[in-house]
């Protein structure tokens, strides 16, 4: 491991038996321990993750990505990790980029580092139905957080220090709250946020959790979040240094 920190790669997974073992092996080959949170899968996700060498937690019911992540953050804090990297189980994120993203977070003293599909000439493409909400949400989050952001829906992230402990204490479980809401709230509370280029691939298997209908509904909800705030009130970073 190239980064002088105790880092855990957190992989939330729901019915990802087609890809989870390959992702775990790639994370381990990159020099990082992995935790797979099996979010109530009905397939062999849990067994395949364990056989591939991951630590694993099996949730008895499907809570959604936010619930799985909150479980993973708590596990990380309880086991002495100070940095967590979110990585999807479907093969979209490249484990060989983890060290670079962690190093970027350390060098820039960030609490939250986001791997962006829209920086550095990654040539990421999406249909217009998805692209418009993603751009609007990025603009809204940038204004709320006070820093330019391009990819608030990216699930490839590094979380460090006091923000990790806040995520373990209180993390949203509603649809896409794990991306937009937490970014807005963290920015408003003074946590340092930044983005680095990240190459992302098409899903190698499984079924995506988002769709055009829910993305549109969430865009409407995002306006409400900015107007009235969120229920995820993290402790102010300016009152405590990580």
CA 11 to CA 68: how far, in whole Å? 9
Provide the pLDDT for residue 116.
95
Check whether 79 has a pLDDT greater than 70: yes
Helices 128-145 + 212-228 axis angle, to 10: 20
What contacts 124, CB < 8 A, 6 or more positions away? 117, 118, 200
Provide the pLDDT for residue 121.
59
CA 12 to CA 9: how far, in whole Å? 10
Mean pLDDT in residue range 1-16: 84
Query: Hey, how many other C-beta atoms are within 10 angstroms of the C-beta on 75?
Result: 18
Check whether 28 has a pLDDT greater than 90: yes
What contacts 10, CB < 8 A, 6 or more positions away? 34, 35, 37, 69, 72, 73, 76, 84, 85, 86, 87
Strongest mean pLDDT among 25-29, 144-148, 188-192: 25-29
Mean pLDDT in residue range 102-112: 97
Helices (H) and strands (E) in the chain, counts: 8, 7
* Per-residue tokens: 158: 């590094």
Q: What are the b/e assignments for 129-144, b being 16+ CB within 10 Å?
A: ebeebbeebbebbbeb
Provide the pLDDT for residue 236.
87
Q: Residue for token digits 């899903």?
A: 203
CA 216 to CA 186: how far, in whole Å? 23
Smallest CA-to-CA distance from 18 within 41, 1, 2, 34 is with 41
8 A C-beta contact, residue 144 and residue 193: no
> Which residues are registered as beta bridge partners of 160?
83
Question: pLDDT for 41-54, tens place per residue?
Answer: 999 999 999 999 99
Provide the pLDDT for residue 30.
97
Mean pLDDT in residue range 96-109: 97
Question: pLDDT for 182-236, tens place per residue?
Answer: 898 899 899 999 999 999 876 545 455 555 565 566 666 666 656 655 556 778 8
Q: Which domains does the chain have, with CATH numbers?
A: 7-239 (3.90.550.10)
Query: Hey, how many other C-beta atoms are within 10 angstroms of the C-beta on 104?
Result: 21
pLDDT band at 2 (very low <50, low <70, confident <90, very high): very low
Provide the pLDDT for residue 218.
61
φ/ψ of 240, rounded to 5, equals -150, 125
């Amino acid at each position: 491991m190239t980064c002088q920190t105790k880092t855990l790669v957190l992989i939330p997974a729901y019915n990802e038996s087609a890809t989870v073992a390959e992702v775990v092996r790639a994370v381990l080959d990159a020099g990082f321990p992995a935790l797979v949170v099996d979010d109530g899968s009905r397939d062999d996700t849990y067994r395949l993750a364990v056989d591939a060498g991951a630590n694993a937690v099996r949730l008895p019911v499907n809570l959604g990505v936010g619930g799985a992540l909150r479980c993973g953050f708590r596990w990380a804090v309880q086991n002495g990790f100070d940095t967590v990297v979110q990585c999807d189980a479907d093969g979209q994120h490249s484990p060989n980029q983890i060290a670079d993203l962690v190093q970027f977070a350390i060098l820039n003293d960030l609490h939250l580092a986001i791997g962006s599909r829209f920086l550095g000439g990654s040539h990421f493409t999406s249909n217009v139905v998805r692209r418009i909400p993603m751009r609007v949400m990025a603009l809204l989050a940038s204004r709320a957080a006070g820093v330019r952001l391009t990819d608030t829906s990216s699930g490839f992230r590094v979380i460090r220090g006091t923000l990790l402990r806040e995520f373990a204490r209180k993390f949203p479980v509603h649809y896409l709250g794990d991306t937009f809401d937490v970014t807005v709230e963290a920015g408003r509370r003074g946590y340092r946020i930044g983005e680095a280029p990240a190459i992302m691939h098409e899903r190698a298997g499984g079924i995506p959790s988002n769709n055009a209908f829910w993305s549109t509904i969430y865009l409407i909800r995002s306006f409400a979040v900015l107007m009235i705030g969120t229920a995820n009130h993290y402790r102010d970073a300016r009152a405590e240094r990580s």
